[in-house]
Each structure stands twice: as C-alpha cells, then as structure tokens.
Amino acid sequence: MLGLEKIEHIGIAVKNLEESNLLFEKILNTKCYKIEEVESEGVKTSFFQNGPNKMELLQATRADSPIAKFIEKKGEGIHHIAFSVKNIREEMQRLKAEGCLLLNDEPKVGADNKLVCFIHPKSANGVLIELCQDTN
Ligand code: CO
C-alpha cells in the first residue's frame, strides 16, 4: 500500500552545528552518532537517536544553501518533518497525481543513506515534508 509511513526524523535548522550538537547532547542526553556533509545541498548534518526518535540538525555550508535561506527568513528552528516511504518513486507519482508540488522531479541522494524528495510547503500548510527511502 502506498502512503507515508512513520516519522523518520525531524530536521532542525541551526546556525552553528558544533554548538547545537553540544546543546542537543545535553537536551536529549545522548551523543550525536553521525556527522555528514551533503555537498550537493550545501549542508552539514548531524544525527541523534533518542529511543525510537531521530533528529537531524542542519547547518548551511554556503550562502546559497536552502538552510541559509531558511534561517535568513525564519530564523533557527524546525525545518522539516521526514516520513519514511517504501517506494519513493511511486509515492512521488501518487502525490503529483494528488496535486502536490514536489521540490524535485527525481529522488535525490540525501544524508544517512537515503533517497529523498521534498513536498513544497505550499502544498502542506507551510510544512516542508521530506519523503525518504532507505538505500541499504
Ligand atoms: Co531530513
């Protein structure tokens, strides 16, 4: 059955990844388990797993990065909610047929071994939704 499955992670835009890693290590009382740069997106990300929940912190690595633009407009804070999907291409087709505006026509390679695609916030009450499919 097609559809979005569980929340895979919540993404938070931050100005300074090092400082925010220390902050969230304190808040969640768990260590960041991975730091990864996604060159194509102009972001550096870190991941936390607390119980069943995963969080992603994102810092821009250049001025034209979507994260830099987001922080300029809205400041730091919740940037996106990611849902796991079994078949990203089929979900993208389904959502397009529902009239949703997608930010990319083809799945992109995201952080943490995922294929990803974003639904434009215009199509989701102002929420940026990430679809992600495991690649391993
Ligand atoms: Co994400």
At residue 105, what are phi and psi to the nearest 5 degrees? Answer: -85, -25
pTM: 0.93
Ligand 1 mean position to 83 CA, how many Å?
A: 9
For ligand 1, the distance from its centroid to the CA atom of residue 99, given in whole angstroms, is 23
Query: How remote is the CA of residue 58 from the centroid of ligand 1, in Å?
Result: 8
Task: Write the DSSP symbol of residue 64.
Answer: T
Taking the centre of ligand 1 as the mean of its atom positions, its distance from the CA of residue 32, in whole angstroms, is 15
Residues 6+ apart with CB under 8 A from 45: 17, 35, 36, 37, 38, 56, 57, 58, 59, 111, 112
Q: What is the pLDDT of residues 65-122, one digit of tens each?
A: 999 999 999 999 999 999 999 999 999 999 999 999 999 999 999 888 899 999 999 9
pLDDT in tens, 15-42: 999 999 999 999 999 999 999 999 988 9
Tokens of 74: 């809205």
How far away, in angstroms, is 23 Cα from ligand 1 center? 19
